Structure 1
């Protein structure tokens, strides 16, 4: 290795116990900016160099998400440790190979179960697995299948599964299995931005502002504590892989697209769904969720996704933006009606549906997990939703407006 690792200089403080842990399960939840993913990437590059017979399997719910997350993080980590040239970095197929030993880092997605079960290495032992964004793994059984694959003789190397995630909802199986259990051979840790000495003043200010303006969000995204367990507005939703072409063949199924504008503090969010009014089912199959987008960039993102010819119902609070989007090629963007009690009526209508969310729509899942009824000064629920975790869900509500009105007319209500 061409560079000596100094935890203090390269990794910083707050992770020594995590770095050195060799228990079977190493589970790390944390807020944004807590350096949990970058530290994990540094740790694995260091370990692979230290143990020349070890190999690593990296798992995400959706395979395509690796390129801009785990793959990029591991490349960055190798550079930080002066070890980048020791590895071949391949994209097709996506894998990393250590030149001197043949050790591999394999990347797999749970959206392709066969690729996961067929993961094998030619040199050494597949002894470590890393589940990044583990909260997106909604089925404990999917985790168990990988857990069972990290078995057998490993030449004396320790076997370990590492999970890193943002703790969006207390209801998730991760909480019960690892944090509310006294199971042996489990290491758990919670970190947040306060242990990240590499953040600058502007980064810290964003969290301090969140602390004042959005204490509920600060608890989860700032401090890394578990999200809500009760009071969810949309309870009847499920994450599920589904075939869009099969759903679209159903009688009377139609598409529904909505758009909520954001910029500096809030993301611009687009929802894309198929609606089955006969069976009262709603299938969310795509999303846009990004901050600091100008109108031409919004139009470009939507066009690149292939939705430029769709009717998109957008937030009526920004008529200039709607006109601008039309000028940039989204000619079927229309404004939503924001009448009295429109939020309440929109929510009540969507609540009549069973919602299925494709696993790739992680922001939709996060919002559905955290969108709750607000509380009064006595900590009692009131008939009003919180004004947080609602950017995608506002877009979804806009998208359902035309269907709701048509449904209302048919029933003569």
Structure 2
């Protein structure tokens, strides 16, 4: 093959030299938004797979359905960025990438199907590398212990066994901190990166972080500088993550909520089931995306199979509600009133929340949704305006349940 010479700093930028060269078992990177961690990881894997014959890569996220728009897309971008896209074939069903000259593979799996993670083999070479993206989504350390064993066995001397673990550090109570950042293990390299090492950001991008620094210093520490989020005074502690099926919620009320967003905030859609007899709310599904037009919202809810459900949306956007109705959704605005936020929170606090593991954004928000404090550190009776998009959507969804004079349909019929 004809060699193609490139100067890597021109392609990937600077700030990741140590990351690029490390050969230990665990390469762990927490970082702020726009810190290049995912893009640089993708570039490193495409480069090394082509450089080291017989190497293969396993890419994992908590839920399989999130891989296509994250890791798969980043790796495909990396092949284009390195000008080697013609040497790779990226497939969508199932998600997979193949280095055409040799048949080396990039395989994609979700922890929602653990058997497919632990029983992986490759036809050519060795499964020596793994990438766990958005590792913060994995709430239980034992889930990682299971997949850690998937990278095992003897390998030739030119290869090395390694996990690359990338995430945003929202909560300092997460097991990732103790296991990787508080440990003194020579086989762990734990790094913190932030947007300041990303020379590809333009003036508008930098202004966004500067506004965050001035207006929301708590969020800036995490989303700007990549520091651990200190979580104190959680609004909801009445929840557990547990898989369940529709057969266990047959006597429940279906509830759906929608919080609008676009550029800076995501549109958040919530669907769950309320068990009135046992005061339980089963959190079943979500979508959580920026840049969604009303047409996009309609198509996404329809493709998820929820177009016939009754949806309670943020009443601050009546025009959007009217458009969604015109498209065919059964949606109305929430009946907000005095103390509606606190009333809704109190109602939900009296329930037990059972959260399906696929609701990764819901789990992130509820783990970081906290009461605000005054400048003296006294907790106020109002939550911080952050990590609240799905929290608001849930509140809208259950609003009719704590108002009088409303009748409810059972599972499948909405309110």
CA distance in 2, matches of 1:175, 1:195: 22
In the alignment, structure 1 residue 364 sits paired with structure 2 residue 365: no
Q: Is the 8 A contact 2:60 2:132 kept in 1?
A: yes
Structure 2 equivalent of residue 52 of structure 1:
53
In the alignment, is the contact (CA less than 8 A) between 2:171 and 2:230 conserved in 1? yes
How much does 1:406 deviate? 4.7
The answer as to whether partners of 1:7 and 1:13 remain within 8 angstroms in 2 is: no
Q: Give ranges in structure 1 of 5+ residues lacking alignment.
A: none
Aligned partners of 2:117 and 2:150 also within 8 Å: no
What is the 5 A alignment of 1:15-26? 15-26=16-27
Is the CA contact 1:3–1:81 (under 8 Å) kept in the aligned structure 2?
Answer: no
**Map of 2:317 onto structure 1:** 318
Using the alignment, how far apart are the partners of 2:256 and 2:94 within structure 1? 34
Q: Which residue of 2 aligns with 1:218?
A: 220
**Contact 2:312–2:334 (8 Å) recurs in 1:** yes
Q: CA deviation at 1:343?
A: 0.9
Give the Cα separation in 1 of the matches to 2:145 and 2:300.
Answer: 37
Tell me the equivalent position of 1:189.
Answer: 191
The equivalent residue for 2:164 is: 162
Q: Corresponding residue for 1:75? A: 76
SS, match of residue 69 in structure 1: helix
Asked if the contact 2:34–2:194 (Cα under 8 Å) also holds between the matched residues in 1, the reply is yes
Equivalents in 1 of 2:303, 2:363: separation in Å?
Answer: 23
Give the C-alpha shift of residue 147 in structure 1. 1.4
Moved more, 62-71 or 297-306: 297-306
**Counterpart for residue 299 of structure 1:** 298
> 2 CA distance for matches of 1:297 and 1:142?
34
Q: Which moved more, 1:15-24 or 1:205-214?
A: 205-214
Match of 1:398 in 2: 396
How far apart are the structure 2 equivalents of 1:353 and 1:389?
20
Instruction: Give, in angstroms, the shift of residue 107 of structure 1.
Output: 1.1
**Take 1:30 and 1:394, find their aligned partners in 2: how far apart are those partners?**
27
Partner Cα separation in structure 2 for residue 223 and residue 111 of structure 1? 31
| Rounded Cα–Cα distance in structure 2 between residues aligned with 1:242 and 1:4 | 52
Secondary structure at the residue paired with 2:400? Answer: helix
3-state SS in 2 of match to 1:104? strand
Q: Which runs of 4+ in 1 moved over 4 A?
A: 406-409
Change (3 A) 1:27 1:272: same
Segments of 5+ residues of structure 2 without an aligned counterpart are: 408-415
- Structure 1: distance between partners of 2:91 and 2:269: 32
User: 2:159 aligned with 1:143, yes or no?
Assistant: no
CA 155–165 in structure 1, closer or farther in 2 if over 3 Å, else same: same
- Match in the other structure for 2:241: 239
Matched, 1:265 2:267: no
Instruction: State the partner residue of 2:381.
Output: 383
2:69 alignment partner, SS class: coil
Distance 1:20-1:376 versus aligned 2 partners, 3 A rule: same
RMSD in angstroms over aligned alpha carbons? Answer: 2.0
Following superposition of structure 1 onto structure 2, how do residues 348-359 of structure 1 map, counting pairs within 5 Å?
348-359=346-357
Task: Give the deviation of 1:408 after TM superposition.
Answer: 11
TM-score (norm 2): 0.92
Q: Residue 346 of structure 1 is aligned with which of 338, 341, 344? A: 344
Alpha-carbon distance in structure 1 between the residues aligned to 2:404 and 2:179: 45
Deviations 1:265-292 (A, max 9, x none): 3322221111112222212222232334
Tell me, what secondary structure is at the counterpart of 1:347? helix
Alpha-carbon separation, structure 1, partners of 2:227 and 2:399? 35
Distance in 2 between residues matched to 1:297 and 1:108, nearest whole Å: 27
Alpha-carbon offset, residue 334 of structure 1: 2.2
The answer to whether the 8 Å contact 2:112/2:358 transfers is: no
Aligned to 2:174: 172
Q: CA deviation at 1:363?
A: 2.1
Give the TM-score normalised by structure 1.
0.93
Greater shift, 16-25 or 55-64, is seen at 55-64
Shift of 1:311: 1.5
Quote the Cα distance in structure 1 between the aligned partners of 2:97 and 2:326.
44
Shift of 1:15: 0.2
CA pair 241-6 structure 1, distance change in 2 beyond 3 A: farther
Task: Say if 1:259 and 1:314, in contact at 8 Å, map to a contact too.
Answer: yes
Task: Decide which of 207, 224, 236 is 2:209's aligned counterpart.
Answer: 207
CA contact (8 A) 1:3 1:83 kept: no
The Cα offsets for residues 2-48 of structure 1, whole Å up to 9 and x where unpaired, read as 43242310111110000000111100011111110110011111111
* TM-superposed deviation, 1:407: 10
Equivalents in 2 of 1:33, 1:145: separation in Å?
Answer: 30
2:97–2:106 Cα contact (<8 Å) kept: yes
